[in-house]
Structure 1
Amino acid sequence: MYLPKDASKIRQREAENARRNRAEIVKALADGQITKRDLFRLGIFTAGGVLIAKNGLSPFARSAFASGPTGVPRTPLGAATPFSQPLPRLREQTPIQMTRVTPNGSSNPADLAATDPKLHQGDWGQPHERCKRLSYHDDYTNYQSGQSNKNPSTNGNPYVNPTTGRGPLEGRPPGEAFSHQRWDEFFPKVGYYMSLAQCDDGTKFHPLLPSQNPNSVWCYGTGTNARGLMPPPLIKLRYGEPVMMRVYNRLPTDQTQNGGFGRNQSQLHFHNMHNGAESDGAANVHHFPGTFYDYRWSLTLARRDYINTAATDDRASGPDGNGGLVNVPGDWKELVGTMWAHDHRFFFTAENVYKGNLMMNNVYSGRDRGNERPLGNARSDAVGLRLPSGYVHDWGNTDFDVNIIHSDGATDSNGQYFFDIFTTDGFVGDLPLVNFAYKPVLEVLPRKYRFRILNASMSRFIQLAIADSKAKAVPFQFIANDGNLVVSPLTLTQLDQQGIAERYDIVVDFSKYSVGDELFLVNVLQQTGGNKPDGALSLADAFAGKSPDPVVGKNLKFKIVSQLQSVDDPTQTLHASDPDLSQVPTTLTEQIPIVTPVRTRVVEFGRGNGDSRGANGQCTPDCSEVVQGFPWIIKVNGQSAHSMNANRISELIRPLKPGEAEHWTYINSGGGWDHPIHLHFEEGVTMNRGKDSIPATEKLVRKDVWRLRPSGQVQFQVRFGEYGGSYVNHCHNTVHEDFALLMRIQVLGGDRTEITPTPNPTEDGIVWTTPQVLPEGDPNNTKFFNQSVSGGGSSSGSGSSSASGGSGSSSGKG
């Protein structure tokens, strides 16, 4: 896709002109200068809504000056050279201790049942500094209904969006359907408040690359009205300490002011924490500029309702901050560690995440507490693994525990971040980024380090190895997959292919190297198109840069040093002579058994004619005006194929008793593409890959993203519990997801015993619709499921299910 370095100037101009022409189309559509009908009439789009492969427009058109396609111009690097800047460590966020307050500040015991946690003093001088079980949308509507004049601007409604004067200030929908589930049980103890905003002045991928324009990168800043900062934030969480995350949308109100891509609406998905659907960030609950959304991250350990219910197992615990443990109910074998959060605005996820709307979340437990020092506490030391981390704090040390976000970007000829929204196969960049920095350097001491590696690309698969300066492979230990510890560490010299959103944790021992030695993190997997990788190179060839793919090769340098400044306590200096107190035990966890399932489901992902647009030509929610075709589809249990519609439920999960296990099989219907499939809310124990071999790194390992491989399949065991509501299952090639390889699943559990009505957000409030339930996804339908196994009541396959709320309006207009 990208032109070679030695491409002639005339070919580079040709490719740049084609890219500018595509950008002009986007701008003209956004500004209303042309319509979609104009594009069809002018022969720019096919009947399926795909960009015509025409010279001067498409990168895949035949070049006028060469035998190959036009291609895409490379990112201009100017004077920026590899390995000339330090690796930016993620920005650790400081939690705010939350306090209980009554609605009126009363100390009357009768009011205690209505207590809410106070997050901070609101910047707007209004009473919404509290976080509540019910949304402030209710307060907004109740205030309006009590006024004779319905205009909020004249009635001084304190709950109106202060930026636009339209609709409620909180994006969370009203009523019980989006109340925080099990609120008193997981009452927030600490909180964070962050702004999703235009990037701050001076945001760069390298000191010698241009500063990004404010709308080129959208990312997170700390506070209620902050500019966005890079690198992304790091949120440290621990079991036993529920969290409130308030996100303010500070993006431009004009959605055309986006630098050519991205939508100014957001919903933050905590991938893949065990949260209620109202805080999952993917229940069609995007919110608008000027509003905030309160996500309650409960830190619930899965299976708490029937395993270790009395919280007597010390292994199911979190650090208490003083060397001890806070025990929690649940199955300690389902503890998670390396997680992340990102935007999930349906149909615009790829564009928004690519712009920088993401963060990493490390979850700490009594087992994996982020402290490698023996604590002298019999209970804590008996369960603690003491993996490489550090020892300044009781928990969450990161001196020797490093988060690595691997991604690929691209810029235009002016050095501004660029994304091609016309591709439906996938977007791959030519600029290798680690923590959003171009080919940085990490100084390390000669000792053991843990690296938490996230593939945060939009469509690029990676495959990583570590090599010394002579291109010789360096062995390391693989300890966790998608945040889940493996039973026993695996010694490897190269990781498996890593799909988008997958996380691999490894431990590297640098003690055998001397001060001054250099090692490199090397990507050996070539990918020149968005659909799938081309294949892996040898480590020697990748190290030498023998690939047309600019992201193949050395992307991060490790430099062995004798001393460095502590990250956990910047007043301290760490030395090579300091003792390495860490260990990698031979056993990290125990295997979750595979049991006979109560039912099985088969989900097939592939190509076809998607039906995301309804009879009126609209998507639910609204989608891109540029591309009409939706080439990616999903079939459930062999039935009709569909693409994303937020008002259509493809899988209904109605457990009859706690611990009910299902076996799901994911199938990739073709060999021309690969899909990393993500299941929200729950994780599955990977059982097999059909006729293909299964790598040791995922055999019987819990995961939340499964790379299917071309024409491949995977089967896993999954259980649902603790919470309910509307979740999704989708491809995490985010371009495939947006076009529209995604389906809604509905879980009946927790406080959600009925099907959730579909919220349709507008700037003036929420309009509810009643979802359709596909019969092949309903376990009570005897045509597709064994009634004697599924049991339970009845549900209409036509979609007229028992959704509360029905149709109608809950908007600020009454």
Structure 2
Amino acid sequence: MNRRRFLHTIALSGVAATAARVPLLGAGKPLASPHSTLLAGGGNPLRFPPEWKGEPLVAAQTKQNVWSDAKTDLWTIGGSWPGPTIRAKRGDTFNARLVNMLAEPTIIHWHGMIVPHEMDGHPMQVVGTEGTYDYSFPILNRAGTYWYHPHPHHRTAIQAYRGMAGLFIVEDDAEKELGLPDGEHDIPLALQDRRITASRQFTYEVVTDDDHLQGFLGDTVFVNGTPDPYLEVAKGLYRFRILNGANARIFYLSFTDGRPFHIIASDGGLLDKPYSVTLLSISPGERFEILVDFSGDKIGTSVMLRSENTGAGAGYPPPQGAELPIIRFDVVKEASKPFTIPQTLVPYERYREQDAVRERDFVLSIRHEGSVGNLEVGHFINDKEFEMERIDETVPMDQLEIWSFRNSSLAPHPMHVHGVQFQVLDRAGNANLVPRDRGWKDTVLVLPYQMVRVLVRFNRYPGIYLVHCHNLEHEDHGMMLNFEVKENSTGVDVGPNRPQKLDLN
């Protein structure tokens, strides 16, 4: 039977129940939690990936002490998990060489970065074993927390799961003038989950119905590659750069004591002002920067950052929305350098709906055939699975458009657009955006049966780019399209009132 014509509603294997547990959370009161259980964790000091010094980025299989008592098989970029943290300043030119020593093709995508299409890490650019790929592009992005990961079609999920990902931090003068926490008070937190065997290995087998429909969920959370982590902090203000680098899991972040924290940045850098929240959802591919104040904590006390329970039941692996410990913070000393929360951050120009010249629809769907426990699953955008050579949309350069992501499935889809930073226009028809939807974005979570509209304009580079779900199992199984940005396109007459170019400042 043709899978494309065999459409079921996805109300099986717990998927329908799970779909009800994926709210969008930008603020609110955390649910009650057993503090003693969560605070008992935190057995390993938080590790930090090395800083990149310009050496070739070698993709290779390695063995590392993720735990002190065992060597774990990993696939890494640059020899560490996560890969080395790249730091660059806006206006600089980034140069790097990928060397592929894996037994299969790979390529690096610079997630969130505005780069020429030949530098973007499209799967058509993969290099084979012992092959190399040279990257060179100017840093156009605002200061922010970006990242890199592999992007070969059908193999993105397993390569990222095995360890191939790292942070890419951009700095600029506007950020520096704000006096935000720096040095030991500026902490990256790369969140990932994995399924662990008794011998301390990562297992990855997408075999169950839920694995196909929901994506591959782990049983253990890692922060910067550290299991069960803790971080000793001073009585002061900290900046945490949070990346959700998981394949499929959405984290619902809150502190066990319910304390507020401030969102100061999203995918594409700083917001216009800090936003106080007590709960923050972050889907795969997204980044947020938050300020957390420990100045009121007594020395010797601890608090846990967790992914709180949104109504999930028990299960293995823990289902989407289950409560999970993330990292424990131990307050151990007085602060040596005072920091304060700024009243304002960096203003940015807002796109306006009335300036958009057209709207494109992207309908997200999941289809399956077969019986429970033996499903064949397909993931679609506009009723199409990804084909490498097919151009699905032609987008005129420098044209402001509305892209509408319509989720017709029971699974959430974090939608990522390459080559651009966009702005959320509305969610389910509501233009009163929660803090997590504000600012510049490159990834937006679209909940089941919801529509999210974004304002997007490609004003830098022509070429072929991708739009796809950043649930990596969904992406690898087809929920991805090519679009081509073309200069002087006659596809749409933008007329004399075309929007002006916007510098991402």
Q: Give the drift of 1:694.
A: 5.1
**Which whole-Å deviations, capped at 9, do the CAs of 1:354-394 have from their partners, x for residues lacking one?**
0111110110011123xxxxxxxxxxxxxx1111113xxxx
**Change in CA separation of 1:219 and 1:551 when aligned onto 2, cut-off 3 Å:** farther
1: distance between equivalents of 2:376 and 2:340? 53
**Change in CA separation of 1:246 and 1:525 when aligned onto 2, cut-off 3 Å:** farther
Q: Give the drift of 1:739.
A: 0.6
1:263-662 matches, cutoff 5 A: 264-301=104-141, 335-369=142-176, 384-390=177-183, 399-422=184-207, 423-425=211-213, 426-467=215-256, 472-495=257-280, 497-525=281-309, 535=311, 552-562=323-333, 576-581=334-339, 583-594=341-352, 595-608=354-367, 629=376, 631-635=378-382, 641-655=383-397, 659-662=398-401
Amino acid at match of 1:348: R
- Conservation of the 8 A alpha-carbon contact between 1:487 and 1:587: yes
Structure 1 partner of 2:67? 206
**Change in CA separation of 1:602 and 1:272 when aligned onto 2, cut-off 3 Å:** same
**Change in CA separation of 1:609 and 1:430 when aligned onto 2, cut-off 3 Å:** closer
Q: Give the drift of 1:249.
A: 0.7
1: distance between equivalents of 2:75 and 2:50? 16
Query: What stretches of structure 2 of length at least 5 have no aligned partner?
Result: 5-12, 15-39, 498-505
Structure 1 partner of 2:52? 93
Structure 2 partner of 1:716? 454
- Conservation of the 8 A alpha-carbon contact between 1:444 and 1:559: yes
User: Does the alignment pair 1:245 with 2:112?
Assistant: no
Amino acid at match of 1:237: A
Give the secondary-structure state (helix, strand or coil) at the position aligned to 1:729. strand
1: distance between equivalents of 2:337 and 2:156? 45
- Conservation of the 8 A alpha-carbon contact between 1:480 and 1:505: yes
Q: Give the drift of 1:434.
A: 1.0
2: distance between equivalents of 1:694 and 1:606? 27
Structure 2 partner of 1:668? 407
Structure 2 partner of 1:638? none
2: distance between equivalents of 1:271 and 1:691? 28
Q: Which has the higher strand share?
A: 2
- Conservation of the 8 A alpha-carbon contact between 1:431 and 1:550: no
Give the secondary-structure state (helix, strand or coil) at the position aligned to 1:726. strand
1: distance between equivalents of 2:378 and 2:118? 30
**Change in CA separation of 1:740 and 1:295 when aligned onto 2, cut-off 3 Å:** same
Give the secondary-structure state (helix, strand or coil) at the position aligned to 2:159. helix
Give the secondary-structure state (helix, strand or coil) at the position aligned to 2:296. coil
**Which whole-Å deviations, capped at 9, do the CAs of 1:462-484 have from their partners, x for residues lacking one?**
110122xxxx2111111011132
Q: Give the drift of 1:407.
A: 1.1
Q: Give the drift of 1:660.
A: 2.7
Q: Give the drift of 1:695.
A: 4.0
1: distance between equivalents of 2:350 and 2:329? 36
**Change in CA separation of 1:648 and 1:336 when aligned onto 2, cut-off 3 Å:** farther
**Change in CA separation of 1:239 and 1:284 when aligned onto 2, cut-off 3 Å:** same
**Change in CA separation of 1:730 and 1:694 when aligned onto 2, cut-off 3 Å:** farther
Q: Give the drift of 1:206.
A: 2.3
1: distance between equivalents of 2:347 and 2:251? 27
- Conservation of the 8 A alpha-carbon contact between 2:57 and 2:98: yes
- Conservation of the 8 A alpha-carbon contact between 1:408 and 1:551: no
Give the secondary-structure state (helix, strand or coil) at the position aligned to 1:199. strand
2: distance between equivalents of 1:548 and 1:599? 39
- Conservation of the 8 A alpha-carbon contact between 1:780 and 1:790: no
Amino acid at match of 2:189: I
Identity among equivalent positions (%) equals 26
Structure 1 partner of 2:24? none
1: distance between equivalents of 2:340 and 2:413? 37
Give the secondary-structure state (helix, strand or coil) at the position aligned to 2:392. strand
**Change in CA separation of 1:400 and 1:196 when aligned onto 2, cut-off 3 Å:** same
- Conservation of the 8 A alpha-carbon contact between 1:271 and 1:341: yes
**Change in CA separation of 1:361 and 1:727 when aligned onto 2, cut-off 3 Å:** same
- Conservation of the 8 A alpha-carbon contact between 1:483 and 1:505: no
Q: Give the drift of 1:722.
A: 2.1
**Change in CA separation of 1:348 and 1:231 when aligned onto 2, cut-off 3 Å:** closer
Considering only CA atoms, is the larger Rg found in Structure 1 or Structure 2?
Answer: 1
Structure 2 partner of 1:121? none
User: Does the alignment pair 1:696 with 2:480?
Assistant: no
1: distance between equivalents of 2:252 and 2:151? 25
Amino acid at match of 1:427: F
**Which whole-Å deviations, capped at 9, do the CAs of 1:549-571 have from their partners, x for residues lacking one?**
89623221101112xxxxxxxxx
Give the secondary-structure state (helix, strand or coil) at the position aligned to 1:424. helix
- Conservation of the 8 A alpha-carbon contact between 1:409 and 1:428: yes
Q: Give the drift of 1:583.
A: 4.2
1:113-192 matches, cutoff 5 A: 192=55
**Which whole-Å deviations, capped at 9, do the CAs of 1:214-265 have from their partners, x for residues lacking one?**
xxx10023xxxxxx2234311111112111111111123xxxxxxxxxxx21
Amino acid at match of 1:661: L
1: distance between equivalents of 2:378 and 2:424? 28
1:224-263 matches, cutoff 5 A: 228-252=79-103
Amino acid at match of 2:119: S
Give the secondary-structure state (helix, strand or coil) at the position aligned to 2:124. coil
Give the secondary-structure state (helix, strand or coil) at the position aligned to 1:234. strand
- Conservation of the 8 A alpha-carbon contact between 1:489 and 1:588: no
2: distance between equivalents of 1:687 and 1:48? 34
Give the secondary-structure state (helix, strand or coil) at the position aligned to 2:250. coil
2: distance between equivalents of 1:350 and 1:694? 34
- Conservation of the 8 A alpha-carbon contact between 2:123 and 2:151: no
User: Does the alignment pair 1:193 with 2:56?
Assistant: yes
2: distance between equivalents of 1:198 and 1:700? 39
1: distance between equivalents of 2:110 and 2:421? 13
Q: Give the drift of 1:507.
A: 0.3
Amino acid at match of 2:483: I
2: distance between equivalents of 1:661 and 1:720? 8
- Conservation of the 8 A alpha-carbon contact between 2:265 and 2:288: yes
**Change in CA separation of 1:240 and 1:452 when aligned onto 2, cut-off 3 Å:** same
2: distance between equivalents of 1:357 and 1:634? 26
Q: Give the drift of 1:494.
A: 1.2
Q: Give the drift of 1:411.
A: 2.2
2: distance between equivalents of 1:480 and 1:296? 26
1: distance between equivalents of 2:108 and 2:340? 34
Alignment root-mean-square deviation, CA: 2.9
**Change in CA separation of 1:588 and 1:729 when aligned onto 2, cut-off 3 Å:** same
- Conservation of the 8 A alpha-carbon contact between 2:392 and 2:482: yes
2: distance between equivalents of 1:482 and 1:548? 26
- Conservation of the 8 A alpha-carbon contact between 2:175 and 2:346: no
- Conservation of the 8 A alpha-carbon contact between 2:189 and 2:240: yes
**Change in CA separation of 1:606 and 1:790 when aligned onto 2, cut-off 3 Å:** farther
Q: Give the drift of 1:700.
A: 4.7
- Conservation of the 8 A alpha-carbon contact between 1:386 and 1:583: no
1: distance between equivalents of 2:404 and 2:496? 18
**Which whole-Å deviations, capped at 9, do the CAs of 1:436-484 have from their partners, x for residues lacking one?**
21111111111111001111111111110122xxxx2111111011132
Give the secondary-structure state (helix, strand or coil) at the position aligned to 1:561. strand
- Conservation of the 8 A alpha-carbon contact between 1:232 and 1:435: no
- Conservation of the 8 A alpha-carbon contact between 1:461 and 1:500: yes
Query: What stretches of structure 1 of length at least 5 have no aligned partner?
Result: 1-45, 50-59, 62-80, 96-191, 222-227, 253-263, 302-334, 370-383, 391-398, 527-534, 542-546, 563-575, 611-626, 636-640, 754-778, 792-814
